[in-house]
Amino acid sequence: MTLQQNRATRSPDRWDDVQIGDRVQLRREGHLELSGRVDNRTADGAVVWVMPEGGTRQLFHAADGYQLTAIAVEGTHHVDN
């Protein structure tokens, strides 16, 4: 396996690029689990709380195998961890 393939498949230990208010999608094993806005996050980026549209905020831990993608307002991706 090449280094590039390792990066694509490994789970991040933290999401330090995402900020409160960012629109995000969380995927696990290729399936969309949740989309919404970051309501809060830990300083180290290991945990985020996401508020889905019309729902209750949920906690996600980076070490649990989620892929977090921040979505720009225009629909383009600007962070992919």
Q: Cα–Cα distance between 71 and 78 in angstroms, integer?
A: 6
Q: Hey, what amino acid is at 47?
A: V
Q: Which helix (H) or strand (E) holds 36?
A: strand 31-41
Please, what are the domains in the chain? 3-80 (2.30.30.520)
pLDDT single digits (tens) 30-61: 999 999 999 999 999 999 999 998 889 999 99
Cβ atoms of residues 67 and 77 within 8 Å: no
pLDDT confidence of 14, banded at 50, 70, 90?
confident
